[in-house]
């Protein structure tokens, strides 16, 4: 969850590190810090509590022109956000600096065994600096010292270290699945980062560390080894990711920008996958027929989709598609539950994981479970090169550009579209889908980018509703069928960006408890498009109204049937009923955004959250 960046080369490291941290701030923003070493074997360290700006104010114009260093933005796990708990953490003599993402689970035992002096922080990280300093002092090479140290540390984490008497050198290790390390290869320089965003303004030539691998970089050399010290060869990949899309442009917040990018995001997700002549879906580029054959597809007995948060909500939409188009029983599971409940899996189960980051620790652990059981795995991901894409047998990339706001928007829409495409593709491979249904669905999807654009035209209405309801302390979101995941997503978005308590509920469940909450102070958002459960939703809305609850009903294009029943109608653009979630999510994103804005919340970086969740 923390952001990591490192640089060694010929340019002053300070500005490069701050630029990298700026691009990583969405990962964690409790505190930040940098350490630089120069050729005179001096270490410059600066940390600041709070957002990155606090650090920038402290260091800009003050740091030495050192050409190597490391930087960190923190999402606190051990110890409150404070200067003393900020990274880099040092050994008592200030000879070794460590930045770290993830958790060292046995840090207390290590502290008891390896303390070189009193500990200055509450972190699980500091002991690593003590352990390294002892080994480096004893003459061990920094890479070997780090290998030994991570060999004793339990848990999943990534770590980057630097020693004052070895300027120009950074060593990093990835242990388990607590977020990756990307190595950037420049001209006479090398970089390290916890994710691509931090590197792409400097280089597009990268390699990725796998769990159990270490890297040792200087300006001119890079060496990869495994935990036993054996050398590894890695191929440099050249990425075509667009760093420009990681800027806010004219928008006040990334969340708004990313919400408004959704027509293009959907277009990018469908391009080359939904074909016009003939109307069919083609995923053979991502799922090569030699591996994902008709025989394989016909032999599948069921699907399990795993993900967390927004990704799990899109999985819930996907379940409907797989059951309908591919005729396969489909379960959806929260990755963190799935991984610990000994799920029954076999070679005929297809496990689909969804993760915009591709680094979510619970989803990676769920994938490990699936791998152990011999399941075929397909992942849907927005981050080229992310760990999920390397673990899965097949990866379908969202191609929507970096999503910076902590609250996911465009990646939810892309995930739903890609699940739809995968369901159609599997359905055809299995012989479960008629040519007519596939053609009709492809036709409907090709209209989606403009329908999503029309949904954005609801912004003024959603802004007005937001102003009306921004004072509410509780919200209920109700849906049935394909509307349920949208209701859950609407509630999650609102919680994240406005700090209003919100519940996303199956409308049928309302009478079994939540109805007790309804009064004139608790607004309800009801997903009520014209589908096969529309009548049931109407009854639920009437039940809320009968208890003086106000209802914002999200309804189909031109449907005035709830006029005089619901308090407000939000009319969706025309869209195929099965694709409705992809459009109806949009006004709920806008509602959450504008309510957050009205309440003065930090919409892009909500308190306590981080974009990529790499700790349990
Ligand atoms: C979305 O708004 C959330 N910030 C969060 O629930 C997110 O969807 C979740 O952490 C999963 O992330 P992933 O897709 O990168 O795995």
Mean pLDDT of the chain: 93
Distances (CA, A) of 519 to 406, 513, 546: 32, 14, 10
The reply to whether ligand 1 has any atom less than 6 angstroms from the CB of 408 is yes
In the residue annotation, 252 being an active-site residue is answered as no
**pLDDT for 9-19, tens place per residue?**
999 999 999 99
Pick the catalytic residue: 257, 410, 495, 611?
611
pLDDT at 243: 52
pLDDT at 246: 60
**pLDDT for 464-492, tens place per residue?**
999 999 999 999 999 999 999 999 999 99
Q: What is the residue with the minimal CA distance to atom 15 of ligand 1?
A: 357
**pLDDT for 495-548, tens place per residue?**
999 999 999 999 999 889 888 899 999 999 999 999 999 999 999 999 999 999
pLDDT at 200: 83
Strand partners, 172: 160, 215
Distances (CA, A) of 439 to 266, 267, 424, 445: 18, 18, 10, 10
Q: Does residue 193 register a pLDDT over 60?
A: yes
Atom of ligand 1 nearest to the CA of 492: 2
Q: Does residue 28 register a pLDDT over 80?
A: no
Strand partners, 476: 503, 524
Q: What is the residue with the minimal CA distance to atom 12 of ligand 1?
A: 355
Angle between helices 410-430 and 580-598 (to 10 degrees): 170
**pLDDT for 70-94, tens place per residue?**
999 988 888 888 999 999 999 999 9
The reply to whether ligand 1 has any atom less than 6 angstroms from the CB of 360 is yes
Distance CA 28, CA 611 (A): 7
CA 590 / ligand 1 centre spacing (Å): 18
CA 380 / ligand 1 centre spacing (Å): 13
Q: What is the residue with the minimal CA distance to atom 4 of ligand 1?
A: 407
**pLDDT for 567-584, tens place per residue?**
999 999 999 999 999 999
Residue by residue, what is the 3-state secondary structure of 117-135?
CCCCCCCCCHHHHHHHHHH
263 by DSSP, 3-state: which? helix
The reply to whether ligand 1 has any atom less than 6 angstroms from the CB of 406 is yes
Contact yes or no for 84/129 (Cβ under 8 A): no
**pLDDT for 246-305, tens place per residue?**
667 678 899 999 999 999 999 999 999 999 888 999 999 999 999 999 999 999 999 999
Token duo for residue 509: 């469940």
Q: What is the residue with the minimal CA distance to atom 6 of ligand 1?
A: 309
Atom of ligand 1 nearest to the CA of 360: 16
The reply to whether ligand 1 has any atom less than 6 angstroms from the CB of 407 is yes
In the residue annotation, 2 being an active-site residue is answered as yes
Q: Best substitution site from 258, 308, 379 to test ligand 1's pocket, by max atoms within 8 Å of Cβ?
A: 308
Distance CA 532, CA 278 (A): 30
User: Can you tell me the mean pLDDT for 331-354?
Assistant: 94
Token duo for residue 456: 């954005």
Q: Who contacts 560 (Cβ-Cβ below 8 Å, separation ≥6)?
A: 569
What is the chain's Cα-based Rg?
25
For each of the domains in the chain, give its residue range(s) and CATH number, in order of start: 3-245 (3.60.20.10), 248-446 (3.40.50.10490), 456-598 (3.40.50.10490)
**pLDDT for 42-74, tens place per residue?**
899 999 999 899 999 998 888 888 999 999 998
Q: What is the residue with the minimal CA distance to atom 2 of ligand 1?
A: 407
Distance CA 137, CA 162 (A): 14
Nearest to 377 by CA among 395, 355, 399, 351: 351
pTM of the model: 0.82
Contact yes or no for 407/606 (Cβ under 8 A): yes
pLDDT at 249: 66
Nearest to 506 by CA among 490, 523, 487: 487
Query: Pairing relation of β-strands 349-355 and 302-307?
Result: parallel
Please return the burial class of 580, using the count of CB atoms within 10 Å of its CB with bins 0-12, 13-18 and 19+: buried
- Specify the higher pLDDT residue, 393 or 210: 393
Task: List for the chain the helix, strand, coil content (%; round to 5).
Answer: 40, 20, 40
User: Can you tell me the mean pLDDT for 349-378?
Assistant: 95
pLDDT at 247: 66
The reply to whether ligand 1 has any atom less than 6 angstroms from the CB of 610 is no
Please return the burial class of 116, using the count of CB atoms within 10 Å of its CB with bins 0-12, 13-18 and 19+: middle
Distance CA 419, CA 40 (A): 56
Strand partners, 503: 476
Nearest to 348 by CA among 285, 390, 300: 300
The reply to whether ligand 1 has any atom less than 6 angstroms from the CB of 363 is yes
Q: Does residue 459 register a pLDDT over 70?
A: yes
Atom of ligand 1 nearest to the CA of 411: 14
Q: Does residue 417 register a pLDDT over 80?
A: yes
Q: What is the residue with the minimal CA distance to atom 5 of ligand 1?
A: 309
pLDDT at 241: 58
Q: Does residue 27 register a pLDDT over 80?
A: no
Dihedrals phi, psi of 506, to nearest 5 degrees: -70, 125
């Amino acid at each position: 969850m923390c952001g990591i960046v490192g640089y060694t080369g010929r340019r002053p490291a300070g500005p490069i590190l701050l630029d990298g941290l700026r691009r990583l701030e969405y990962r964690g923003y409790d505190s930040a810090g940098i350490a630089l070493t120069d050729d005179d074997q001096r270490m410059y360290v600066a940390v600041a509590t709070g957002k990155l700006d606090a650090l920038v104010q402290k260091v800009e114009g003050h740091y030495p022109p050192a050409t190597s260093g490391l930087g960190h933005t923190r999402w606190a796990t051990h110890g409150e956000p404070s200067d003393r708990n900020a990274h880099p953490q040092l050994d008592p003599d200030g000879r070794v600096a460590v930045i770290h993402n993830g958790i060292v689970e046995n840090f207390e035992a290590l502290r008891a065994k390896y303390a070189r002096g009193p500990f200055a922080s509450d972190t699980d990280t500091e002991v690593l600096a003590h352990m390294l300093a002892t080994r480096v002092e004893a003459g061990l090479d920094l890479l070997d010292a780090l290998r030994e140290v991570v060999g004793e540390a339990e848990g999943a984490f990534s770590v980057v270290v630097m020693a004052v008497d070895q300027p120009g050198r950074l060593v990093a290790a990835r242990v388990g699945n607590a977020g990756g390390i990307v190595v950037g290869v420049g001209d006479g320089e090398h970089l390290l980062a916890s994710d691509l965003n931090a590197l792409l303004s400097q280089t597009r030539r990268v390699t990725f560390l796998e769990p159990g691998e270490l890297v040792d970089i200087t300006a001119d050399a890079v060496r990869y080894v495994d935990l036993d010290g054996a050398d590894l060869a890695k191929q440099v990949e050249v990425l075509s990711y667009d760093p420009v899309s990681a800027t806010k442009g004219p928008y006040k917040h990334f969340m708004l920008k990313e919400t408004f990018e959704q027509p293009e995001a959907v277009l990018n997700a469908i391009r080359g996958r939904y074909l016009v002549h003939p109307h069919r879906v083609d995923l053979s580029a991502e799922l090569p027929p030699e591996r994902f054959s008709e025989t394989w597809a016909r032999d599948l007995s069921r699907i399990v989709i795993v993900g967390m948060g927004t990704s799990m909500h899109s999985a819930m939409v996907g379940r409907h598609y797989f059951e309908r188009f591919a005729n396969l029983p489909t379960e959806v599971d929260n990755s963190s539950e799935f991984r610990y409940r000994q799920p029954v899996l076999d070679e005929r189960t297809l496990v689909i994981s969804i993760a915009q980051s591709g680094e979510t620790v619970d989803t990676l652990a769920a994938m490990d479970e699936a791998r152990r059981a011999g399941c075929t795995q397909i992942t849907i991901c927005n981050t080229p090169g992310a760990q999920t894409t390397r673990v899965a047998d097949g990866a379908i990339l969202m191609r929507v550009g970096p999503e910076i706001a902590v609250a996911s928007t465009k990646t939810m829409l892309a995930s739903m579209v890609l699940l739809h495409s995968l369901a159609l593709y599997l359905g055809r491979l299995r012989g479960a889908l008629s040519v007519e249904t596939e053609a009709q669905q492809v036709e409907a999807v090709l209209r989606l980018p403009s329908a999503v654009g029309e949904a954005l035209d609801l912004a003024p209405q959603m802004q007005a509703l937001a102003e009306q309801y921004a004072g509410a302390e509780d919200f209920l979101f109700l849906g049935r069928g394909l509307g349920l995941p949208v209701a859950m997503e609407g509630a999650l978005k609102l919680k994240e960006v406005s700090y209003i308590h919100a519940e996303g509920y199956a409308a049928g469940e309302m009478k079994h408890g939540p109805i007790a909450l309804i009064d004139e102070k608790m607004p309800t958002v009801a997903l009520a498009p014209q589908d096969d459960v529309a009548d049931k939703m109407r009854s639920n809305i009437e039940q809320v109204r009968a208890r003086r609850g106000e209802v914002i009903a999200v309804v189909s294009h031109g449907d005035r049937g709830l006029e005089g029943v619901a308090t407000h109608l939000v009319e969706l653009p025309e869209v195929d009923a099965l694709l409705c979630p992809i459009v109806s999510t949009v006004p709920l994103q806008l509602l959450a955004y504008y309510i957050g804005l009205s309440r003065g919340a930090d919409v892009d970086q909500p308190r306590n959250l981080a974009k990529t969740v790499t700790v349990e």
